[in-house]
Structure 1
Amino acid sequence: MDFIRQSEVIQWEDGEYKTIKENSVDDEYTYLFIDYLPPRKFSTYPKDLEDFAVGYCLGEGLIKDYSDIESIKLDGTNVLVSTKLSHDPEEDLEQEGIVQERKGNCEHACVCRLLEYQGVNSDSAGGIRSELKTIEPIESDLTIDATQIIKDIENLTAEAKIWQKTGGVHVAQLKYEDNVIIREDVSRHVAVDKVIGAAAIEGYDFSKCYISYSGRMPADMLIKVIRVGIPIIFSNSAPASSGIDVARAGNITMVGFVRQNRFTIYTAPERVNLEK
């Protein structure tokens, strides 16, 4: 099922208008229930949700490896994840740096945190910005040819089937040797979570993988990728300055504005073979 809805709309162009049928993404709310943590809410393109759950847990540092997950159950768009680490709300509050008292303030803090989680998305849930200091720089000898970067973005566009039909999703692509994983979602973060999760399930060596995707590259996206040990990321869009800082700190190669026959390398250029 493609989760695409067709609507009758009016199209205006150069003073003329007509009624046509237009496709749009039928996005839905997805809730992640991870151990005993408060639920996390996301607006998603509701396919490949198991991949998303695995990738999210890895990118947020909630697990170290796919083997840390005991079970994943789908109930509609609700995803129930059980891990060997049995995370609880108090641990989550500590990760966020929330100071709480054991008496009256504790209950208040828990309630406020629950309300906050009911409205957050993958780029802000889990305290990833506050955990930057815990991320070790990536050591990887993976390299990529300059011409391959262009080819990969072209393939990304060619394989973005839902985007081609609707224009309403982001697409992410993960490559490992001769293997390619492509996932789409209304959220660029969830799209990347999905390819990371799918790669983890397949047992790929992340130090030999790289990601290309559509969308900006802010700090939270880079931290997600660095956490799992992927050394190269590139996009047809722009980086944020926070993303550049994180990419430099994590020794990740970040390439932006990949368009036709050009791109811009922001960090760790040694992984790009510029002569090819």
Structure 2
Amino acid sequence: MDFLRQTEVIQWKDGKYFTIKENSVDDEYTYLFIDYLPPRKFSTYPKDLEDFAIGYCLGEGLIKDYSDIESISLDGTNVLVSTRLTHNPEEDREQEGIVQERKGNCEHACVCRLLEYQGVNSDNAGGIRSELKSIEPNVSDFTINATQIIKDIKHLTDEARIWQKTAGVHVAQLKYEDKIIIREDVSRHVAVDKVIGAASKEGYDFSRCYISYSGRMPADMLIKVIRVGIPIIISNAAPASSGIDVARMGNITMVGFVRDNRFTIFTAPERINLDK
């Protein structure tokens, strides 16, 4: 199922107008339950939610690798994650009622109503744990060719099936050796979480991976990449100054403005073979 919706609309062009059918993304709320921590609420394109949950946990520093996850189960668009680490519900006593409902393995209807009433954090602005107390510089000696960057962004666009139909999602691509993972979502953060989660399940060496995606590169996106150890991030969009600062501190190679036959390297240029 593509989770697409067709709507009859009026299109105006060159002084003329006519009725056409336009595709749009049928986005939905996803609730993420991690151990007994307060639930998180996201607006998502509700496919590949298991990959998203794994990537989110990695990017938020809640797990170190895929083996830390004991189980993942889906109940509609609700995702329940259990890890072997200690995530204590005492971190937020006000959510105790929600924790008790989850222990009872309910259908989450009352939980969702409570969340809508209280309001919860969303990852669309970078996540709950969006700051690093310290940054360990990435020491990977992995390199890619300059011409490959142009090819990767073209491949990203060519394979973005939902974007081609709607122009309403972001797309992320993770490359490891000759393997490529592509995921799409209405949130650029969730799209990146999905490819990270899928790669983690496959056991990819993140120090030899890189990500290409559509979207700006602020600090919270770079923090996600730093946490999992990916050395290169590429985008057809712009970085934020906060992203440049974090990329520099984390020794992450940040490439932006990949358009036509050009791009801009903002940090750690040594990982790009400029003559190839």
Report how far residue 127 of structure 1 moved. 2.1
Report how far residue 212 of structure 1 moved. 0.2
SS of alignment partner, residue 123 of structure 2: coil
Counterpart Cα distance in 1 of 2:118 and 2:175: 35
Contact map agreement 2:122 2:128 (CA 8 A) in 1: no
Contact map agreement 1:3 1:45 (CA 8 A) in 2: yes
Report how far residue 124 of structure 1 moved. 3.4
Report how far residue 118 of structure 1 moved. 2.0
Residue of structure 2 equivalent to 1:98: none
Deviations 1:59-104 (A, max 9, x none): 000000100000000000000000001312444x6xxxxxxxxxxx
Report how far residue 107 of structure 1 moved. 4.9
Contact map agreement 2:31 2:79 (CA 8 A) in 1: yes
Report how far residue 274 of structure 1 moved. 0.4
Report how far residue 202 of structure 1 moved. 0.2
- Aligned residues with identical type, % of pairs: 80
Q: How is 1:1-276 mapped onto 2 (pairs within 5 angstroms)? A: 1-91=1-91, 107=94, 118-129=120-131, 132-276=132-276
Aligned-CA RMSD value: 1.9
Counterpart Cα distance in 1 of 2:153 and 2:144: 13
- The two structures have a TM-score, normalised by structure 1, of 0.90
Contact map agreement 1:173 1:181 (CA 8 A) in 2: yes
Counterpart Cα distance in 1 of 2:216 and 2:229: 20
Report how far residue 125 of structure 1 moved. 2.7
Q: Structure 2: which 5+ residue stretches go unaligned?
A: 99-114
Counterpart Cα distance in 2 of 1:243 and 1:116: 31
- The two structures have a TM-score, normalised by structure 2, of 0.90
SS of alignment partner, residue 173 of structure 1: strand
Counterpart Cα distance in 2 of 1:116 and 1:179: 43
Deviations 1:137-185 (A, max 9, x none): 1110100100000000000000000000000000000000000000000
SS of alignment partner, residue 204 of structure 2: coil
Report how far residue 44 of structure 1 moved. 0.3
Report how far residue 119 of structure 1 moved. 4.2
Q: Structure 1: which 5+ residue stretches go unaligned?
A: 94-105
SS of alignment partner, residue 36 of structure 2: coil
Name the aligned partner's letter for residue 149 of structure 1.
I
Contact map agreement 1:40 1:117 (CA 8 A) in 2: no
Contact map agreement 1:117 1:125 (CA 8 A) in 2: no
Residue of structure 2 equivalent to 1:101: none
* TM-aligned CA distance change 1:57 to 1:123, over 3 Å: farther
Name the aligned partner's letter for residue 47 of structure 2.
K
SS of alignment partner, residue 17 of structure 2: strand
